[in-house]
Amino acid sequence: MNIGLFTDTYFPQLSGVATSIQTLKNALEKDGHSVFIFTTTDPHLGKGTIEPNIFRVSSVPFVSFTDRRIPVRGLFQATKIAKEVKLDIVHTQTEFGMGMIGKYVAHSLNIPTIHTYHTMYEDYLHYVLNGHLLKPYHVKQITKAYLHKMDGVVAPSERVRETLTRYGVTIPMRVIPTGVDLTAINENPHRDVRKELGINKKDKIILTLSRVAAEKKIDQILDVLLAILEKEPDVKFVIAGDGPDVQPLKDQVARLSLEDYVIFAGSVEHSDVGNYYRMADLFVSASDTETQGLTYIEALAAGTKSVVYSTDYTEHVFDNKKLGSTFTTKNEMKDEIIGYLKEKQFNIPEDLKEKKLSEVSAATFAHKIEKFYQDVIQNKQKTEVNYD
């Protein structure tokens, strides 16, 4: 198949969506498909960079989300390219910008289009005029309008499926958790991150790795860090990533007098994340907005236990305490972290790790997506035959 992935977000932008798209692209290509990514320009991309099968259209920063971009033109350019490469299916990854262009391209070429609903927008309304402009009702209407007349939608978790069903979405839907490219986790395994960050060998490391933004709830981990230090004084908390909340978190660290215990590591290249997971004793995430939880699986692949917010997805992944645990309150999070730190058994048993990873591998992810592609293509062909 010739597959077109349409996205507003792609590398060098760092996000779970960008990682998910690259994982899907690589896995589909490994299975013999041709994958073409249609995305936005990015000022951080080096001039003259050659990107095979990646087509970028002119874009500007999004007003309330300046590290994300939206296209300002490219409709006819994308359609022309899609015709030249003879796309069989369009797979959109955003409801805006490039997603709308993808829908237009699919309609123009009379090919099926499916969508992955990556983002629970009800959790992000505070980004638009502090939540005063858009309400959950608007999210429902926008989502239904975008998915109207599409051939299918991928829900990365049961929570997303339930949300789309609540919105009244009736097109074919598949729950397909995003896979993880395990080769990327072990791509550059020789760096001593602890040494680079000035961390003593005796210290126990708590790590969070994500975009540093309000919805990741990193402030809640800082809120319980003093209580953790009372029980386990040789602890360092490493915050890896960049984003709009770096300075507010640094201010919080100063207010709590935690400067000696918190390290801001800055942005981390995706090829280097494995080194960060491996140097940590425990990965922690307080985010309650994740639809895919790629960082959880990356930590698991690196052999590091996790303490993460409880969702249907995380409950499925961490169904054994030897893999990690979940929580719903800050107090539960604190107790789970202290419990693991006291046990001092940080490594995940290899057999248990491999069994769980096989369920969420990039190959499994790609095979499920391929099957969905095949089904929607067949359904469209049947519909056209019946219509004739």
Structure confidence by residue, pLDDT tens digits, 103-118 = 999 999 999 999 999 9
pLDDT-derived band of residue 40, with 50, 70 and 90 as boundaries? very high
**CA–CA distance, 51 with 65 (Å, rounded to integer):** 25
Kindly state the DSSP code that residue 42 receives in the 8-state scheme.
Answer: -
CATH topology of domain 2-179+361-387: Rossmann fold (3.40.50)
**CATH 3.40.50.2000 domain range(s) in the chain:** 2-179+361-387, 182-359
**CA–CA distance, 71 with 65 (Å, rounded to integer):** 14
Cβ neighbours of residue 316 under 8 Å, at least 6 residues apart? none
Structure confidence at residue 97 (pLDDT): 94
Percent of the chain surpassing pLDDT 70 = 93
Q: What is the mean pLDDT of residues 219-242?
A: 97
Helices then strands, counting H and E runs in the chain, come out as: 15, 15
Nearest to 271 by CA among 187, 172, 383: 187
pLDDT-derived band of residue 269, with 50, 70 and 90 as boundaries? confident
Please name every residue paired with 35 in a beta bridge, in sequence order, or none if there are none: 3
pTM of the model: 0.76
Q: What are 272-300's pLDDT values in tens digits? A: 889 999 999 999 999 987 766 788 888 99
- Greater pLDDT, 374 or 128: 374
Q: In the numeric block, which tokens belong to residue 165?
A: 């069903």
Percent of the chain surpassing pLDDT 90 = 65
Structure confidence at residue 129 (pLDDT): 41
Q: What is the mean pLDDT of residues 195-213?
A: 94
Q: What are 330-345's pLDDT values in tens digits? A: 999 999 999 999 998 8
Structure confidence at residue 386 (pLDDT): 67
Cβ neighbours of residue 273 under 8 Å, at least 6 residues apart? 184, 185, 209, 240, 298
pLDDT-derived band of residue 63, with 50, 70 and 90 as boundaries? low
Average pLDDT, the chain: 90
Structure confidence at residue 38 (pLDDT): 98
Q: What is the mean pLDDT of residues 181-204?
A: 84
pLDDT-derived band of residue 67, with 50, 70 and 90 as boundaries? low
pLDDT score of 245 more than 80: yes
Give the number of other CB atoms < 10 A from CB of residue 379.
Answer: 14
Task: Please name the residue ranges forming H helices in the chain.
Answer: 16-30, 75-85, 97-109, 136-147, 158-166, 182-185, 193-196, 218-231, 246-255, 273-279, 294-301, 312-317, 330-343, 350-359, 362-387
pLDDT-derived band of residue 146, with 50, 70 and 90 as boundaries? very high
Q: What is the CATH number of domain 182-359?
A: 3.40.50.2000
